[in-house]
Every structure is written in structure tokens, then in C-alpha cells.
Structure 1
Amino acid sequence: MDKVELIATSSFGLEAIVAREVKKLGYEDVKVENARVSFTADLSAICRGNLWLRSADRLLIKMGEFEARSFTELFDKTRDLPWADWLPVNANFPVQGKSIRSQLFSVPDCQAIVKKAVVESLKGRYHKQWFEENGPRYTIEVGILKDVATITLDTSGAGLHKRGYRKLSSAAPLKETLAAAMIDLSRWHPDRLLLDPFCGSGTIPIEAAMTALNQAPGLNREFAAENWPVIPKKYWLDARTEANDLLNREMRLKIRGTDINPEALSLARYHARQAGLEKQIHFQQMPVAQVQTKEKFGFLITNPPYGQRLQDLPSVEKLYREMSGIFKKNLSTWSFYIITAHKELETFFGRRADKKRKLYNGRIECHFYQSTAPSRRGGNRKRKLITQTYNRAIPGPI
């Protein structure tokens, strides 16, 4: 097959970032919708997309999309899709589902109908009545929105946020894909110090280092589609070779993560070692009240406590006031990028954000407050040249 239609799914609010990542990979036929970015490409894009997409949740193959108001319609139109072009005779093909504002509201029934339809389709090609399903995994999803069914195959397996470095977890961890998106939105550049004073298990500093070094986020993990016979092994080998060739191992970064919790910092150091970045990030135990630096300009990118429980709100609001005083004193010329579910951050922080963007940390609705340092407003020629150089390092079409 020459071309396939792919869907990079994302959290709400990150679609434009995912679309930009897809275009940087050299794919131009891009369509942005709620929580997904669609594009058409060749089979090698499955390998390259899984390796390189930093802010997407999964990479799916769109098998078909059609109106389905009855189980008969769902069965017939699913059966007519070219399943045998993708699934070998021993394929393991579980079916997942979701239905929103549709007449076919029973998800288990929809899953069963799709499973039966795929089996009937494969019977016609393989002339078998029963399939063992002991081979590669092909997760099928039926998603029905307003009576329109979209049938997809998941090429990623585990979600793309699972880079392979975070083996252990701290309380309320920030998802890697969201951290990468925050780095992208901040327009941080490796010539500036990046500080996360609530670094926890290290996700923001690690994602920043991976981005700056042009390290493909999926380089150290495997994907479901690597075991699919229809995708030549050479495509995966070429994609990994490309990723290794584009990795900038020589750059030295100024990234610092601090936290008051020694156990969280132990996790952060462990995760940095797993990612091969322990020499690029400096972690230090420190309460936010002691944060200071000799760097006149820098980027503070962080995910502070939210105070989701009512009894925690007073202490969180006190913390925000403390942050305001310390940052005004020691970091007055810095840029600030803070994500929180607390809607009054600006009131307690004492600094109006230049931009606010609604994002979701898991299922928690948050706002990403972006406040640019005065020295960065109006542009900077040196920074522009650095940006152009960095963007040229991003992989384009092979």
C-alpha cells in the first residue's frame, strides 16, 4: 500500500502543537480536529511518527469512517473494510470502544459487533472458521460520535507518554506528553537556564533536555506495530538510525530541578539516568523560599501543587504568595510558565500572565499561565538565529 491515513490523538488543547510536530516531520496533508490530528503518509510515517511525536497520545491507522445508526450498519460497513490487508491469520485483535451522543450507545455491544464483523471479513480472505489470535497485537477501536463511527488500529501499543525512562512514579506525576507541550509553548532555548522549583520526579527537566538534544522521545521503547508483518523491518531500522544520527550528544545544557521532597528527587535522578541525561540536569533539594540564581535571564517552567482538596487550599495559596515574593526578589527578569488548576494564581502570584491556555493534566482542567520576561518582548536577533538552527535539526522526510 502506498499511502495510509493516520491519526495522532492528543489531549484537548494540544492539537496545534501535535500538528506542528507532524509538519516538522515533513508531512503536509494535516487536518486538525478536537483531540486528534489526521494526516496522510506512507508506511514509514508509522515508524517515524511513533519515534518522534512528543505531545501526541497515540498514533492510529484510520481504517474507515461512516454513519452507523443501527447495529446492522455498523456490522456491514466494518466487515467491508480491508482487514486482511493489515491483519495476518494469527493476529490478536481485541476491540475497544466509546460512544458519545449516538444511537448506538451500548459500548460492549458495539465492540462485539465490530469483533464479529472483522472475523467475518477475515474468513473471506483466509478461508478459516476460527482464528487462534496468538500472533501480533492489533488493537481495534470503534469510536462513535453523533452516529458517525471511526474505526482505527492502534500502532503505538502503550501510550506515547511512556518514553521508557519513568519506571517508578511519584504522587500526582505530570504526563510526559504534557510536559513536552509546556516546553514547546514556552519557546525555551538551550542557551538559557531552565528551572523547575517543583520538579517532583523530574518530568519537566527531562523532557526539556530530550527536546534540546533532539532526542526522539520513543527511541528507547518498542511499539505494537514493530511486530506487524505488513511494515518492513527496514522501515523501523531506518527510522531508528535517523533518530540516532540526529541526536546532539555534544550540547551542554543549563537545566535545574529543585524540590523539597528528597524521595521525589531520588526518583528524578533515577529517571534522568534511565534517559541517559544525568549529566545534563542538576537536581537539588531545596524549598521554594530558597530558590535563587546568578543568571539574570531564564525560564521558570513548573507544575506546582494545585490544592484540589478543599483542606489543602490555604496552604497552596500561602505557597503561591511565597512564590511571588521570592520570584520578584530573585527572578524579576525571568519568564514564567506555570500550570495549575487553581483559577486565582495571578491574584496570589501578583503577576498578570501574557497568555493563558486551557490544558488538561489527566482529567484535571488546568490553565497554563505564560508570562514573558520584559527583555524577551519585541524579539531578539540572536535567539531568532538559534531557533532557526534548532528547527533545521528536526527530522524532515527521508
Structure 2
Amino acid sequence: MSTLNLIATATFGLESIVAGELKSLGYENLTIENARVTFPGDELSLCRANIMLRTADRIRLKVGEFKATTFDELFEKTKALPWPEIIPANAQFPVDGKSVKSTLFSVSDCQAIVKKAVVESMKRKYKIQWFEEKGPLYKIEVALLKDVATLTIDTSGPGLHKRGYRELTSTAPLRETLAAALVILSKWYPDTTLIDPLCGSGTIPIEAALIGQNIAPGIYRDFTADNWPNVPKSAWKKAREEAYDNIKRQKLDIIGTDLHGPSIKLARINAAKFKLDQDIHFQQLNLSDLSSRKKFGKIICNPPYGERLGDLPDVEKLYREMGKVFNQLDTWSYYILTSHPEFEKFFGKKASKKRKLYNGKIKVDYYQYYGARPSKRNYQQ
């Protein structure tokens, strides 16, 4: 492999955040589409993206893209792609699929045809009739959208939200990638106090600490492409060395509070796994007791949404309390993620800005309330 077409997949609404991360890593000529950002690179780029991107879901290697409205067309065009240049003879190469608004709507049939086409392509190269598939994993995906087939191979393995610090979770955890995006969207600076007063198992404070210390989210985990013979070990070594060199240890003022004691205990355990327990102060605390002597700061939280009808009265009561408590910190900025369509009504204040996002399959809004700006530093909210 030399020049590669790489795809960073993303949750709807986070594509521009992922693109911004890629630009900060020095990548250009980005193509931003729904749920993905495509960029050119090499083997080192593949390693860097997996290790360093905070808000992408996974990194895929794009093998080809073409229009296909018949199974014959799908077979022949798939077969013509350079599979043997990427996949070794002993590899495992299962096929996943999805189809949206396409003539070829049977996903199982599309998967079977792509598998057969890849096998035929590899037979010609390796001069064998049977592939045992006991080696490294090259998981193929055929994605059909409006009759355009995109063929990719997953390089990540478990999704990039699997940092490795959160084996234990509280109820309804927020994905790490979305938590990181909430912090990035708040334009929080590491010298600013950050509080999550409904922190659960600590995902938002931990992601903020990783950002504040510039610790790459994938620095301590492995990826599927770690085992690929055509991605040099030296590329992974260099990318990880870069990640370690980029760490900027500095004093942070991050606080996570929650009324639920077991969640606070989990949060401390999770933070300790990445040696962030000295950077975050976790405390069991009732929301009504929240206060700070700091004049400026940011609150970022993911409160309950009340998705179940019976929970709505309690959730709406919580939103009213949040409005009263947060209003006491009237020079602070606060950022709240929820799917409740009438959040502003119960909170008692209209947001400065809203951004539509997805938390899993749930449509949510990110309500952003801008406080005063510190006079010593003129930065944009």
C-alpha cells in the first residue's frame, strides 16, 4: 500500500469536528459527507488517525466506489478491485453490509456476492482454490447508498470510543467520542474550571482531562490493523511515539459530581486507569449544593432525557432545578445535552445556540449558554 483513501466515520452532526481534528493533524483535501470524512494518506496516517482522533467512530480503508444496480454489476466491479494487493492469502475477510435507498436492497445477497467476488480476485493472484482464513482480520463492508456501492476494510476493530478506561459503567453511559465532542464544542481551555454536576461514571470529565493533557485517546489500546503485515510495525511505533511526545502535563481544574455514590466510585476507578485521578476531583454531591468561588468556568453535562414516559415528571423537575442552580453561576457558560423538546421551558432560559446531534440513535440538542468572557483573554465562546 502507498497512497491510501481513508475514511473516518462519524456520528451525524460531528463530521465537521472530525474534519477539524484531521486538519490539526496536518491532513488536507478532506471530503466531508454525511457520517464520514474521507482523506488521503499513507500507512502512518492510518495509524495516527486510529490513535489520535477523539470524535471519529472508526477508520476505514476505502478500496473502491462505483454505481451498481444489478448483482452482476456488483460482482464484476468488486472483482476488479485490487483486493490481493491489500489482503494476504491467510487473512480472515468476512463481509458486512448495509443498503439505503438502493435497488440492491437485500443486504445478505450483497454480502454473499461481494465475498464471492473477493475470493475470485484472490484466486487469480494466489493460485489457490480455498482460503482457510486463519490469519489477520480484514473485515470488509459493502455500503450501498442510492445505488452507489462503497467497499471498505475496517482498520480499527472495536469502535474508537473504546478507549480502555471504561470497562465499568453506570446506567445509560455517554459514548466517549460524543463526550469529547461536547468538550471540543464548548471551546473549553485547560486553564478554565470545568464542572459536570451529573457526571455518572465520569466520561465527560475524563475526556476533558485527556484533551487538557493532550493525551491521545487510543494511546493505550490495540487496533485490528496492528496485525496487518502490510502496515509496518515501524508506522505504529512512530505514531505512538508521536502521541507520547505530544502529552502536555499541566494542572487542571476539572470537577465531576453526582448524587449517586456508586457512580462516583466508578468514575474514580475509570480515571485512575489513565492516571487522571489527580486531574479530576470527583465528589458525591446533590445538584442543589453545587457552587464555586471561581468567577468564570464551564458546566458541561448530559442529564437524563426522560425517554420513558413515567420518568418525565422527575426529569422536568431536574431541569427546573438545573436552571435555578446554574443561574447562580451567572458569569459561567453551560452546555447541556438532551432530547427533551421543551428543555428551555423547564430550564427557564433560552439557549444562546443549539446544535443538533445524535446520542446513539436518539436525536438530541446541545444547548449552549454563553456566559461572560474573562477580560484577560479575548476568546470566542
Q: TM > 0.5 between the two?
A: yes
Name the SS for the 2:98 alignment partner.
strand
Distance in 2 (alpha carbons) for counterparts of 1:306 and 1:199: 14
Other structure's SS at 1:375 match: coil
Q: Distance in 2 between matches of 1:29 and 1:224?
A: 26
**Structure 1 unaligned spans of 5+:** 388-398
Measure, in 2, the Cα distance between the counterparts of 1:28 and 1:381.
34
AA of the residue aligned to 2:372: P
Q: Aligned letter for 1:364?
A: I
Shift of the 44–66 alpha-carbon distance from structure 1 to 2, 3 Å rule, reads same
Whether the aligned pair in 1 keeps the contact of 2:333 and 2:369 (CA below 8 Å) is: yes
| 2:156 pairs with 1:150 | no
Partner residue in 2 for 1:390: none
Matched, 1:272 2:271: yes
Distance in 1 (alpha carbons) for counterparts of 2:273 and 2:89: 38
Aligned to 2:55: 55
- 1:237 match: 237
- Per-residue deviation, 1:296: 1.2
AA matched with 1:168: L
For 1:63, the aligned partner's letter is V
Matched, 1:344 2:342: yes
Out of 374, 377, 382, which is 2:377 matched to? 382
* Paired residue type of 2:163: R
> Which residue in 1 is equivalent to 2:288?
289
How many residue pairs are counted as aligned between the two chains?
Answer: 381
CA contact 2:5–2:61 (8 Å) conserved in 1: yes
| Equivalent residue runs for 1:92-131 within 5 Å | 92-131=92-131
Q: Equivalent residue of 1:382, what SS?
A: coil
Aligned equivalents of 1:21, 1:178: Cα separation in 2: 14
Code of the aligned partner of 1:346: E
User: Aligned partner of 1:26: which letter?
Assistant: G
Alpha-carbon separation, structure 1, partners of 2:378 and 2:130: 62
Shift in Å at residue 381 of structure 1? 6.0
Which of 345, 358, 361 is 1:360 aligned to? 358
- 1:344-368 deviations in whole A, cap 9, x for unaligned? 1111112221110011111111000
Q: Where has structure 1 moved over 6 Å in runs of 4 or more? A: none
Q: Describe the SS at the equivalent of 1:182.
A: helix
| Mapped contact 2:373–2:379 kept (Cα < 8 A) | no
On the 8 A contact 2:296/2:372 being kept in 1, the answer is no
Matched letter for residue 88 of structure 2: P
Amino acid of the structure 1 residue aligned with 2:288: A
Partner SS, residue 130 of structure 1: coil
Counterpart of 1:333 in structure 2 is 331
Give the deviation of 1:375 after TM superposition.
2.9
Tell whether 2:166 aligns with 1:166. Answer: yes
CA–CA distance in 1 between the matches of 2:11 and 2:164? 20
Against the structure 1 CA distance between its residues 383 and 52, is the aligned structure 2 distance closer, same or farther, given a 3 Å change threshold? farther
Instruction: Give the match for residue 395 of structure 1.
Output: none
Partner of residue 190, structure 1? 190
The alpha carbon displacement at 1:134 in A equals 0.4
Aligned mates of 2:2, 2:376 — CA distance in 1? 43
Q: Give CA deviations for 1:259-297 in whole Å, capped at 9, x if unaligned.
A: 011111111111001121011000000110111111111
Moved more, 344-353 or 231-240: 344-353
* Residue of structure 1 equivalent to 2:70: 70
Q: Measure the CA separation in 2 of the matches of 1:215 and 1:327.
A: 30
Q: Secondary structure at the match of 2:373?
A: helix
Give, as a single letter, the amino acid of the residue that structure 1 aligns with 2:302.
N
Note if contact 2:288-2:321 (Cα within 8 Å) is conserved in structure 1: yes
1:44 paired with 2:26, answer: no
CA distance in 1, matches of 2:49, 2:252: 26
| Alignment of 1:259 onto 2:258 | yes
Under a length normalisation based on structure 2, what TM-score does the superposition of the two structures give? 0.98
Q: 1:384 Cα deviation (Å)?
A: 4.7
Shift of 1:383: 5.5
State the 1:374 CA deviation.
2.8
Q: What does residue 316 of structure 1 align with?
A: 315
C-alpha separation between the residues in 1 aligned to 2:40 and 2:206? 31
Tell me the alpha carbon deviations over residues 180-227 of structure 1, each in whole angstroms, 9 at most, x when there is no partner: 000010000111110000000000000000001110000010000011
Q: Which whole-Å deviations, capped at 9, do the CAs of 1:75-101 have from their partners, x for residues lacking one?
A: 111111111111111000111000011
Cα separation, 2, equivalents of 1:116 and 1:308: 44
